[in-house]
Amino acid sequence: MNNIYTHTSENMQKAAAVIQNGGLVAFPTETVYGLGANVYNADAVASIFAAKQRPHFDPLISHIADIDFLKEYAATDERVFALAKRFWPGPLTFVLNRIEENPSIDLACSGLRTLTVRMPNHQIALDLIRRSGVPIVAPSANKYQSVSPTTAQHVADGLGDKIDMILDGGACKVGVESTIIDLTGKNIVMLRAGGTAKEDIEDFLGEKVLLSEGNPTLPTAPGQMLRHYAPRNTLRINVTLPEKDEYYIGFGSYNGDLNLSPTGNLKEAAANLFAYLRLADTGAEYGKIAVAPVPTDGLGLAINDRLKRAAYK
């Protein structure tokens, strides 16, 4: 079954109709491919949880295409709009208070009084949202806790028979999911490191961003489970000397079967991370994977977060 579609106006209109009619469409963003449904259609949102085999207590991110829509959707203030105007479209997700008792979005919010929302920096994603006329809720288009997809073929390999359409936008440029920040309190709290660096947010606001691991048994945002983004094979991290039976993913001067970035570029490493984990997982002669140390500054914080959760036993 080949349900991968190229980016044409006709296919985009077809995909928007699928969203409007309660179906599922996988589409590219700058971070990873998302599995999209109409946020207001609880049956469609339930289909996402079923397709991914994802627990209902793990909330989903809504995607919008217009900053002004925020005030209709969530509680906002000057700080929220300042951050949106600076970082959107882009890989930064806000956790905000809901402004009304709207039962249709309860499932997407996992019953919480907060919602998570962002504006993706990808023309296909924005086009699909605008044509659909509704926010599109879209977790990564892969089975729960497995390696996130960064190409249309990754989506087809994992969930192809459960999705009505897959829109092909090529490989994702950022390669790790969005940063998630909680804006419901006085202090800004980072719930998930991702494609927007903590330092960039702090520099813009002139204040410290607090770090939270979240509660893996009752997450308030995606990506807080202890085990997540995991390959099938066992994974060791921060490895400088791999064992003979380990497929070694290097970084910088640590060379291996693959190298996330020979020049030590964290942006390049983030873009390659999930694709390289998938390649390592298919190395027939290996039963294990090892990854070289990666610095924790900038995008390195997100890379290390993904690796730590992928390696969790």
Distances (CA, A) of 167 to 9, 14, 96, 139, 170: 12, 11, 29, 15, 9
pLDDT the model gives residue 83:
98
Digitized pLDDT (tens) for each residue of the chain, 313 residues in all = 579 999 999 999 999 999 999 999 999 999 999 999 999 999 999 999 999 988 777 889 999 999 999 988 899 999 999 999 999 999 999 999 998 777 889 999 988 899 999 999 999 999 999 999 999 999 999 998 789 999 999 999 999 899 999 999 999 999 899 999 999 999 999 999 999 999 999 999 999 999 886 666 555 666 665 566 678 889 999 999 999 889 999 999 999 999 999 999 999 999 999 889 989 988 657 789 999 999 999 989 989 988 988 888 7
CA 143 to chain centre: 13
What phi, psi does 238 have (nearest 5°)? 55, 40
CA gap 205, 40 in Å, rounded: 33
Alpha-carbon dihedral 79, 82, 88, 93, rounded to 10 degrees: -10
Q: Look up the pTM and report it.
A: 0.86
If you write DSSP's letter for every residue of the chain in order, what string do you get?
Answer: ---EE---HHHHHHHHHHHHTT--EEEE-SSSEEEEEETT-HHHHHHHHHHHT--TTS--EEE-S-GGGHHHHB---HHHHHHHHHH-SSSEEEEEEBSS--GGGTTTTTT-SEEEEE--S-HHHHHHHHHHTS-EE--BSSSTTBPPP-SHHHHHHHHGGG-SEEE---S-SS-SPPEEEE-SSSS-EEEE--SS-HHHHHHHHTSPPEE----TTS-SSTT-SSS-SB-SSEEE-S-SS--TTEEEEEBTTB--SEES-TT--HHHHHHHHHHHHHHHHT-TT-SEEEE-----STTHHHHHHHHHHHH--
Residue-level pLDDT at 87: 98
Residue 124 main-chain phi, psi, to 5 deg = -65, -45
16-18-21-23 Cα dihedral, nearest 10 degrees? -130
Give the chain's domains with CATH numbers: 4-211 (3.90.870.10), 234-311 (no CATH)
Predicted pLDDT at 221: 65
So what's the pLDDT on residue 217? 59
